[in-house]
Every structure is written in C-alpha cells, then in structure tokens.
Amino acid sequence: MKGLMMHRPLKIADIITFAADTYPSSEIVSVRTEGDIHRTTYKETSARISKLAHGLRKLGIGEGDRVATLAWNGYRHFELYYAISGIGAVCHTINPRLSAEQMIYIVNHASDRLLFTDVTFLPIIERLRPHFPDDLRVVIMTDRAHMPETPLDGALCYEEVLEGEASDFDWPDFPEDQAAGLCYTSGTTGNPKGTLYSHRSTVLHALSQCVTIPKTLQEGKRILPVVPLFHVNAWGLPYGAPLSGASLIFPGGALDGKSLFDLMDREKVYSAWGVPTVWLGLMNEINQRGRLPEGFGDIVVGGSAASRSLIEAFEKMGVNVCHAWGMTEMSPLGTQCNLPPEMADLPFEKRVDRKQSQGRRVFGVDMKIVDDEGRRLPHDGKTSGHLYVRGNTITEGYFEDPEATNQVFDKEGWFCTGDVAAIDPAGFLLITDRSKDLIKSGGEWISSLDLENIVMSHPGVANCAVIAVPDAKWDERPLLIVVPREDAQPQKEDLLGMLAERLAKWQVPDDVVFVDQLPLTATGKVSKLTLRKQYAEGGEA
C-alpha cells in the first residue's frame, strides 16, 4: 500500500533557497584571484545564483548539458555549483593538476559546452584549446576590470554573464535522479573515469553529512575547505554547509601554511577540511608562531590515511581530529571518526588509537567486507577483507564507460572500494591497505600502511611511503622511501630498528631510500604508482 504523502523531487537548488531563507546572514568569505578578500552571505549568493542561471540559459545551456569548471575555492565556483545544477545541467569540475593528456580526454569525453576558468588556469586552457571540442566557449571568472588579454576566441567575462539578470529564478522541477554533477577520478590504469552525481544523491549526501558531523556542520560554525571544489565536491561542503547554516571560508589558491594560518586566524575558522599533506604545512606554521589560529578547534582529515603523529600533534594542541574516509565514487563521505562521548574519557594514547581508524559509517552507506570468494566476513575488528559499499550516494556505473563499470561491482551490485579493511563491533572501520598497495612477500601479505604509520612517528621523518619492489626469491619485498624533516638526518638503522621492534622480521623492509619529496597524484595523494615505476629495479631509482 502506498503512503499518502507529497512527493517532491529532492533538488539541489532547494538547499540554497533554504539557506537564504533560514540563515540569511551566514557568510561566504573568499580569497579572490583579484587579490582581495570578498565577503557575502547565503542570501546575497542565492540572488547571484539566480542571475547566473538566467545567464546560463541565455548562453544556450539546457537540461543535461555539461558545463565545466577549472577554479579554486571561491564564491563564484560555489555559485556555479548551484546555477548549473539548478537549471538541470551538469556541473563538471576539472582538477587543474591533471596532465594535459587527461584533461583533453575528459573535456572531450564529457562533451563540455562551456568552460568556466579562474584567471590562474587560463594559460592551461589557451594551450589545450585546440584539442577541446570546437563549440566549447570559455568564461573567465572575474569582472571586466580584471579581464586578462587572451588569444581565446569569444572568451566571456563572468560578471558580464550575470549583469542585468533578475535576482530570482523559478527553479524547474525534474526527476530527482536527474544528473547534477560530474567528477573524473584518475585511476592507476586506463583513462579517467567519471562519476555522475544526481540531485537525489547530492541532497541525501548533504543531509547524512550534517547528521553525522553535527558539532561542526552547525549554524554559527565557520568552516574552511582546503579540499578543493574542483574535486569530489569539496567533500560535500558546498551542500552541507548551507544546509546546516555553517559559514564557508574559501582560501582560493593560497594553501601554504602561512596563508592558511593568517586566513584562519582572521576569519576565526573553527574547522578546516583537507588531505594530510596540507596539515603538515599548517602544523609547521603553528609551531613557529607558538599558538593556534584564533577559534580553531577541529580538522577533518581524509583523502589518504592520517598518520598517528599528525593526529597526536593536533590533539595535543586541543584540536579535535576527525579522520574521514570516502571516495569520488561515494560523493564522497563513507565514514568519519569523531569519537562517541563514552570514549572521551579514554587515556590519550587509546583515543589516538581509535582516531587512527576511519571511524563509523554515515547513514545511507552500507558496508560489507568479504573474502576472495565474496563470502561475508565477521565485523570482529580482527578479520580483514575486501571492502564493498552500497547506498544512494554511491555510483552505479561510470559515465559512458561500460568497460570500467564492469570491473567494480559484485554480483549483489555492491561497489568495490579497492580497500582492504576490518570493521569492529563498535562499528569502526579500519582500512588495512589499498588492495593494490598491499605487498605480498613469500606468500604473506604486508600492510604498507602499518609500516608507514610506525615510520611517521620518528621525529626526523616528514613523510614516507612503503612500496612493493620485485624480488626473485620472495616475489615482492617492501621498500621504505623517506622524506627527512628539514635539518634532520634520520638514520637507516634507526628506522629499520623501530620497525623490527614492532613487526615480524619478514615484514621489515630490506632497505631505506631518502628523497627530497614524494611524487603526488593530481588529488595530492602520494603516487605509489609513480614510485613503483621508479623503483621497479629492486630499489634503484
């Protein structure tokens, strides 16, 4: 029997309308490419989004059309998220750190009709333009006064697209599974693959996120997303923040420790979200100044696993660390590791132990761990297995890529995360490793993550990675690659000694390589693929 309740499509535009009605004075503060700081409110932003939507319609954008963005975190990028999806088109965010080859592939694969770019990235567009679709038009995200010279034919000015348009828009209804956003992720092999978010998945993700992280996503709180709008929806913050009433502080392109500290200090940012590498820079700045930015109390760390030393350092300063895990294909939030109140009284070391796990699932994300034959494994905190997920916020297939799609779902239709993990009886997920990062030596698995966590606790180590290198006898052996801290000279013997104290002998790497920096992927994670290629010949670079 059918219930008798209204059925309204879940729509992204309803979030900004709600924020404008309900939190009219909550702020969006942006470091602009123009060089200044821009301040606005959800109410004013809602009016500009309406103008932009009218402008997009005039530029011929219709339902289902893809509109690309190549931009830093700022209010105009935020406006694009809402105006594009609001009229039923698809907001395709492009990661500027992709290779030329990858960028050319995705712009053509997505058949983008418009491309909005920050001035910063204009040189990239100018260089690649000949390889993009002929009818693609470029809009430069600035005002007339700041429009740069460009050889691009018919490049438009963002503020002129809005000019003279009406400040309200009658947002159309469409089915809630209408496409709204598109984000490509570069895998280790093959071409980038696109996740095509819907209005339903996006609204449900925002609701679940706010319910799961209520102490941060809350009216009156100020949140700084270092995690970029150009990738994985900045972990959902452009939706979760206005839904909850939290203010957004956008850092633009200035992501070094000093710039972040100054911005956070001035704007009294409570919570900052980003990948571990960013926090190393901020931490240095905090140590140099001997104090925290004013009002700072919380970081959300994801993208790759947070090291024990990072968690310890922030927690010792009184900053709550929320370790989170997710994937582009999951909108992205899967789990978050704020501790339940009954764990608040644990000794410090035990709390840090807990916080090294990825935490508990958000509502709407079902998780299972299975063995190689797909049989379910117990959630006992000890048994590791392949992690699969299911839910409304998870991809059901890559955009126009049946081949890639075929590889990532099991018979029950669950998505294969590529992670190996255990789940404990209190619901905490502990990722042991990426399936492809595991090292198989003499028939036994070695977790590169475990080794890295131990090495990172050495005071002379700034960063490290453990990879598999081919070995004639053992098939694979672990190799430790270390970036020393400035002015520190950690010794090979010390590092291997640390590992030998805590691990079985066969798990300890045979060698250590010291480097100045580690290669990063376009999303700022350590590129183990690159490292494995570099060191494929048994430890020689």
Please give the residue ranges that form the binding site for its own copies (CB under 8 A): 1-8, 10, 14-15, 18, 21-25, 63-64, 90, 175, 177-180, 195-201, 204, 207-208, 210-211, 214-215, 217-220, 243-245, 331, 340-342, 360-361, 363-364, 390-399, 413, 415, 425-427
Residue 179 or 310 having the CB closest to its own copies:
179
Q: How far is the CB of 169 from its own copies (least distance, A)?
A: 15
Q: Which residues pair with 224 in a beta bridge?
A: 272
Task: Tell me the closest approach of the beta carbon of residue 417 to its own copies, in angstroms.
Answer: 14
> Closer to its own copies at the Cβ: 284 or 392?
392
Q: Are strands 512-514 and 475-484 parallel, antiparallel or unpaired?
A: parallel
In contact, 195 and 145? CB cutoff 8 Å:
no
The dihedrals phi and psi of 421, each to the nearest 5 degrees, come to -155, 160
Number of Cβ atoms within 10 Å of the Cβ of 493 = 10
Q: Are 497 and 250 in contact (CB under 8 A)?
A: no
Q: How far is the CB of 178 from its own copies (least distance, A)?
A: 6
**Which CB sits closer to its own copies, 177 or 493?**
177
Exactly one of 58, 215, 268, 440 is catalytic; name it.
Answer: 440
Query: Is 440 known to be catalytic?
Result: yes
DSSP string, 23-54: -TT-EEEEE-TTSSEEEEEHHHHHHHHHHHHH
Q: Which is nearer to its own copies, 15 or 438 (CB)?
A: 15
Residue 201, token pair as written in the block: 């998945």
- For the chain, how far is it from start to end, CA to CA, in angstroms? 67
**Active-site choice (45, 93, 185, 417):** 185
Residue 200 beta carbon to its own copies: minimum distance, rounded to whole angstroms: 7
Distance of closest approach, residue 206 Cβ to its own copies, in angstroms: 9
Q: Compare residues 28 and 480 and give the one whose CB is closer to its own copies.
A: 28
Nearer CB in complex with its own copies: 183/439:
183
Give the CB-side neighbour count of residue 191, counting CA atoms within 13 A: 19
Nearest approach, Cβ of residue 182 and its own copies (Å): 9
- Of 342 and 537, CB closest to its own copies: 342
DSSP bridge partners of 326: 333
The DSSP output letter for 72 is: -
- Count other Cβ atoms within 10 Å, centred on residue 293: 24
Distance of CA 189 to the CA centre of its chain: 20
Q: How far is the CB of 155 from its own copies (least distance, A)?
A: 27
Distance CA 511, CA 351 (A): 32
Catalytic residue among 403, 445, 506, 533: 445
- CA 65, CA 184: separation in Å to the nearest integer? 16
Evaluate whether 241 touches 21 at the Cβ level (below 8 Å): no
Q: Give 200 or 458: the residue with its C-beta nearer to its own copies.
A: 200
Rounded Cα distance, 476 and 129, in Å: 44
Q: Which of the following is catalytic: 27, 159, 329, 452?
A: 329
Residue 450 CB-density burial (10 A; 0-12 exposed, 13-18 middle, 19+ buried): middle
Based on CB atoms, which residue is closest to its own copies, 99 or 108?
A: 108
Residue entry with tokens 């309200």: 168
**Residue 227, both tokens:** 């995690």
DSSP code for 340: P
Query: Catalytic annotation on 185?
Result: yes
Contact of 358 with 430, CB cutoff 8 Å: yes
Which residue number, 127 or 215, has a Cβ lying nearer to its own copies? Answer: 215
Among 44, 39, 126, 111, CA closest to 74: 39
Tell me how far apart the alpha carbons of residues 501 and 457 are, in angstroms, rounded to a whole number. Answer: 14
How many whole angstroms separate alpha carbon 41 and alpha carbon 39? 7
Least separation in angstroms between CB 306 and its own copies = 20
CB of 102 to its own copies, least distance (A): 20
What the block records as the tokens of 156 is 């438009």
The CA distance from 409 to 203, in Å, is: 24
* Contact between 353 and 381 (Cβ < 8 Å): no
C-beta of 395: minimal distance to its own copies in Å? 6
Cis link prior to 293 (omega < 30° from 0)? no
Query: Which residues are catalytic, by number?
Result: 185, 329, 440, 445
